[in-house]
Structure 1
Amino acid sequence: MTGVPTATRPVSLLLRVVPLYPVSPRRAGQLVYRNLLVARRSWLVFVSGFAEPFFYLFSIGVGIGALVGDVVTDTGSALTYQEFVAPALLASAAMNGAIYDAVFNLFFKLRYAKLYDAVLATPVSAADAAVGETVWALMRGAVYSAAFLLVMLAMGLVGSWWALLALPAAVLIGFAFAAVGLAASTFLRGWQDFEFVQVAILPLFLFSTTFYPLSTYPRPLQVVVECTPLYHGIELVRGLVTGDVRWALLGSAAYLVVMGLAGLALGARRLERLLLA
């Protein structure tokens, strides 16, 4: 560490442990900018990601909600079914947008377009590429979440000023799933392996208290659900949107931060191993 200023040594050591060393925000930002330029040419595909959560909200939240009536949450709050489902669909939109970009698009770039063979011929490192792709994926999830939050506001499904923090919470969800998705894409051998991604995502969407309170499940299943990432994302967003803010939400946020950092570290190492071996 000779020649490194004392104040920057802890940062350098941390980056080596994560590992995201050497990483440059400027170089990672160039990759994000490149993805933005490409997205301008395929904006219709980008916008199509808005459709799924809207359809779920109107078909299940509004249609079935008229039959279900009020829902009592696990914290004792009484909500209409629309108010209960909407924050969960917001969190799911962040997850789906991030996963789609981090897994599907990155796999194509890695295995078929051979984009990173060219990228790593520049000063951009594998860690820069991992950070840049993760940021781009979470940005996509954030755009979907922002649009969905505006729809919720227009429908009167936002019950607290704490909802202003729902968008940063959705960005955090996007970060966690984008980083893990990036790492997962490096293990995929072919298009057939995408079935495993769907097998993982679909149960998360259906069982992470998206449509039912946790108390409706038997206790063994409750324990399993409480260990899943989307459950913590939904708890975080639902608590902020409905105003049911409590200390446990910090634990959910910490869960997502750790998940994102671990996924980013693994993804950076896997990219470096695949491309520089």
Structure 2
Amino acid sequence: MPPVGAAGIIVYRNYLSYRSGWYIFISGFLEPVFYLFSIGVGVGKLIESFEYHGQQIPYAEFVAPAMLATSAMNGAVLDSTFNFFFKLKFTKLFDQILATPMTTRDVAAGEMSWCLLRGGIYSIGFLAVMLGMGLVHSWWAVLALPATLLIGFAFAGACLALTTYMRTWQDFEYVTLATMPMFLFSATFFPVTAYPGVLRWIVEATPLYRGVVLCRELVTGVVTVESAVSVVYLLAMGVVGVLLARRRLDTLLLT
């Protein structure tokens, strides 16, 4: 089958499975919205302004782009870990798919497409919230949506690959162990300059930090070379993840 058509069939199948449980689909979108209101707006009342690249911006405008990157991450991670594992290990969905003219390449592409769709929907919704709150003032922000898709691509690729190595549901504790610290310490609520030497380098090497930098620079209109570094980093992470995921699916399903 043509790759696009095969991926579309898998996306449509996932849409049908979520159609009656739409409220579960949007659950990952609400968390960053609540953080924006509670910390970005609430704490923002105590902080008049915040310096970013030499200019003063309201604290909520500093936090909001980080929450946008988090929305993209949440959408990608939820479907590329828990849901992917369930379909792979329990329902044996992919074994059934491979009984058709589809291949493991189609499975990887279809699941990646669904992860990007979910992350994209979360990001569009969060951008609408930001616009409604008056937190977007730069035309560079039109590139924020493609940036969130790139973030989703990076996390979905990596998580699809890592999930193929998981054996039980207990292994998913490592997912929370990785995503929660990234969320809290990826310059989400305060600048990376607050960290001392080596710790700062570690934070700057995390994928969510790269996503936060990209979204924050686009939304505030202060675009530097760090955005280019983030694009290359996230693109490479996604490509390597997808290739590894397909190879692992070959091992698990075809041998």
Task: Give the structure-1-normalised TM-score.
Answer: 0.89
5+ residue gaps in structure 2?
none
Could you say which structure has the larger radius of gyration? 1
Give a deviation string over 1:133-187, Cα, whole Å, max 9, x none.
0110111011001000000001010020111110110011001101111111111
> Does 2:240 match 1:276?
no
Deviation at 1:71, TM superposition (A): 1.5
- Counterpart position of 2:18: 39
Deviation at 1:25, TM superposition (A): 2.1
Deviation at 1:40, TM superposition (A): 1.1
Alignment of 1:1-277 (within 5 A): 24-73=3-52, 75-277=53-255
Deviation at 1:245, TM superposition (A): 1.4
CA distance in 2, matches of 1:78, 1:180: 36
Which SS does the other structure have where 2:50 is aligned? strand
CA distance in 2, matches of 1:217, 1:159: 29
Give a deviation string over 1:179-198, Cα, whole Å, max 9, x none.
11111111111111110011
5+ residue gaps in structure 1?
1-21
Deviation at 1:50, TM superposition (A): 2.0
CA distance in 2, matches of 1:34, 1:257: 27
Which SS does the other structure have where 2:90 is aligned? helix
Give a deviation string over 1:237-259, Cα, whole Å, max 9, x none.
10010001123311211111000
Q: 1:106, 1:182 within 8 Å by CA — same for their partners in 2?
A: yes
Give a deviation string over 1:6-51, Cα, whole Å, max 9, x none.
xxxxxxxxxxxxxxxx982221221112111212122111122221
Q: 1:141, 1:170 within 8 Å by CA — same for their partners in 2?
A: yes
Q: Which amino acid aligns with 2:160?
A: L
Which SS does the other structure have where 1:69 is aligned? coil
Which SS does the other structure have where 1:158 is aligned? coil
> CA distance change for structure 1 residues 85 and 254 in 2, over 3 Å: closer, same or farther?
same
Q: Which amino acid aligns with 2:152?
A: G
Moved more, 36-45 or 176-185: 36-45
Q: 2:29, 2:74 within 8 Å by CA — same for their partners in 1?
A: no
Q: 1:23, 1:125 within 8 Å by CA — same for their partners in 2?
A: no
> CA distance change for structure 1 residues 217 and 23 in 2, over 3 Å: closer, same or farther?
farther
Deviation at 1:69, TM superposition (A): 2.6
Q: Which amino acid aligns with 1:217?
A: Y
Q: 1:23, 1:127 within 8 Å by CA — same for their partners in 2?
A: no
Deviation at 1:224, TM superposition (A): 0.5
The total of aligned residue pairs comes to 255
Identity across aligned pairs (percent)?
A: 55
Q: 2:73, 2:155 within 8 Å by CA — same for their partners in 1?
A: yes
Moved more, 26-35 or 94-103: 26-35
Q: Which amino acid aligns with 2:185?
A: F
RMSD, aligned CA: 1.2
CA distance in 2, matches of 1:184, 1:76: 39
> CA distance change for structure 1 residues 23 and 180 in 2, over 3 Å: closer, same or farther?
farther
Moved more, 83-92 or 244-253: 244-253
Q: 2:213, 2:226 within 8 Å by CA — same for their partners in 1?
A: no
